[in-house]
Amino acid sequence: MPIDDLTALGQKMREARKGKSLTQQELSDLSHVSVKQIAKIEKGQMNPSFLILKALAKVLPISLDSLINPDVSPEDEGAGQMKMLYCSCPSEMRETLLHHTQETMKELTELSGKFKTN
């Protein structure tokens, strides 16, 4: 039996919250969305407004696209998360974040190449 959109949204929200090791109360404190609303969203009992979704997505961080589109590919989800991390970073530190990300990508590419040759 397929699940409805609100249930799917609630599951994604719960997974993102637990992935960040937050309780509903902690998410509420950080996002300024009530615990009652968070619980209802996670149970698929509430259709949250754009502003509520935006506040929750900013804290988790998860892209709004992945929350409202259940068919987002893992690659698009990852790209969305990278963008959210960049946007969540203080503007004066974004260049540093990009530099470290580029260096990490080079190291992972080299490491991946070593595994393929073995």
Instruction: Quick: pLDDT tens for 46-72.
Output: 999 999 999 999 898 787 877 777 677
pTM, 2 dp: 0.63
Give me the CATH number covering residue 11. Answer: 1.10.260.40
CB atoms within 10 A of CB 118: 4
State the pLDDT at residue 1: 42
How many domains are there within the chain?
Answer: 2
N- to C-terminal Cα separation, the chain: 45
Q: Residue 62's domain spans which residues? A: 1-70
Q: How far apart are CA 61 and CA 18, in angstroms?
A: 12
At residue 23, what is the residue type? T
